[in-house]
Amino acid sequence: MCTTYVCAVVLEKLKSCGMTLKGEPRLIRLNPFAPYKTRGNGAVSFRLVLDNNQTIRRAKQIILDTVEELSQLNDPRTNPGVVFYQGPMTRDLQEYSMKTVQCMVTLEEAENLAQKIGAEIFKYKNGRGVIGALAAIGCPLPDNTYELIAYREVNNYGKVRRINEDSVRLMDHETYPETFDNLDEGYMAITPHTPCPVLYGIRGETKEALYRAQEMIRSEEPIERVMVFLTNQHTDMHLQAIDRIAGIEKYQCYVVKGVVNSNPHVIEGGHVIFNLKDESGEMECAAYEPTKRFRDSVRELAPGDEVTIYGGIGNKGTLNVEKMEILHLKPQYQYLNPRCDCGKRMKSAGKDKGYKCPRCGGKLTDAPKEKVEIARNLDEGFYEVPTSARRHLSKPLVRIRDESKSKG
């Protein structure tokens, strides 16, 4: 199942009963490194304008009935939660929401806050979904994007998605960068690979851009419904700036500056590993195999390079790199045998015997090696993982560049 689909069905039922939605439904992605999470770790919320207690009770019942009907409660990983709240967006609620996006939050914390602000909670099974449901209500959105999601008919769940690829490429050409992450190396990236209700999802800066993009996509299977969400996706909301490597903790996400302290090396599975240090300590960083060509850039790093790393910490304490900014490339040198007067590079004549020219036979008994700077296959600036490896919350460079333009 899919949390956003449950939301879309709920809203259709509420609207058919004459209830009014205020603004767009919100899709809030939570800490991507939380050990107990769904695949996308998303929660949804929406605001209703209701005029009396009877209507409020009716709305609650429709919501709860639909969640119970559609949730796959027989799946051990499914633990839904529903929260109803009437009141202002308090500082406590907003701070809790940000913590849920960036750090670890317990069910007890969510329940305590709900009791403090007078929110009503409903738990299914262990009810861990309450953590995200409460966060989706209170999450501030100083930066936001939108996602338009088209859903399949039930009889197509689990089948190959049928969308005209040329239409997606045309859409990307016409709407990028107002929409983004549509393609990955020329192939469609708007379709998921799971047997869920989603046919495709388009991400963009405005609702208008998404509707324009939708008109260009040719689906070769019926679309059951479409919903647009206001979201924190691709905002880097999960990242915390930290100035000491020693202060980094597991299951949290950071922006950390340091100096490369080892030559990157490839381990089993194709993952590229290197060490990052600052005055407080040192940590292991990884560009994992799914990041594909991004690993080529990481492999070119060298000890002494100054970088800023964006990413999160998993169970093993390794920083999973989402993108990096190279601040300064330390010059790298190699030492070569001297050249002969004839211009040919000389060869060693043996231990402590100097050098001999392979062309003319000339000899040098005591000459220093020539220090030559090595050309680097890197430039200073940003590097990011490909679309297929990008986390929901990670901000693509196209959004960072557009922000820089608007400021300058």
384 pLDDT tier (thresholds 50, 70, 90): very high
Instruction: Name the percent of the chain lying above pLDDT 90.
Output: 82
Cα–Cα nearest to 179, from 150, 163, 201: 201
The strand pairing partners of 286, in sequence order, are: 273, 320
User: Mean pLDDT across the stretch 40-47?
Assistant: 93
Instruction: Report domain extents, the chain.
Output: 3-138, 145-231, 240-331+376-390
Exposed/middle/buried for residue 282 (C-beta within 10 Å: 0-12, 13-18, 19+):
middle
User: Mean pLDDT across the stretch 333-347?
Assistant: 91
* pLDDT at residue 402 in the model: 64
DSSP letter assigned to residue 329: P
* pLDDT at residue 289 in the model: 93
Q: What is the CATH number of domain 240-331+376-390?
A: 2.40.50.1010
Contact 360, 342 (CB under 8 A): yes
User: Mean pLDDT across the stretch 286-291?
Assistant: 94
Residue 362, helix vs strand vs coil: coil
Cα–Cα nearest to 339, from 351, 353, 354, 357: 357
Reported as a single tens digit per residue, the pLDDT across 166-195 is 999 999 999 999 999 999 988 899 999 888
216-236 b/e (C-beta count within 10 Å ≥ 16 → b): bbebeeeebeebbbbbbbbbb
Q: How far is CA 372 from CA 299, 330, 333, 354, 379, in A?
A: 21, 14, 5, 20, 19
User: Mean pLDDT across the stretch 4-14?
Assistant: 96
Contact 48, 265 (CB under 8 A): no
Q: Do domains 3-138 and 145-231 have the same CATH topology?
A: no
User: Is the C-alpha dihedral spanning 330, 334, 339, 343 positive or negative?
Assistant: negative
Which fold does the domain 145-231 belong to in CATH? Glycinamide Ribonucleotide Synthetase; Chain A, domain 4 (3.90.600)
Cα–Cα nearest to 261, from 280, 235, 241: 280
Residue 10 has pLDDT above 60, yes or no: yes
Tell which CATH classification among 3.40.50.150, 3.10.20.30, 3.40.50.2300, 3.30.70.2200 matches the domain 3-138. Answer: 3.30.70.2200
Tell me phi and psi for residue 48, to 5 degrees. Answer: -115, 145
* pLDDT at residue 296 in the model: 95
User: Mean pLDDT across the stretch 389-407?
Assistant: 80
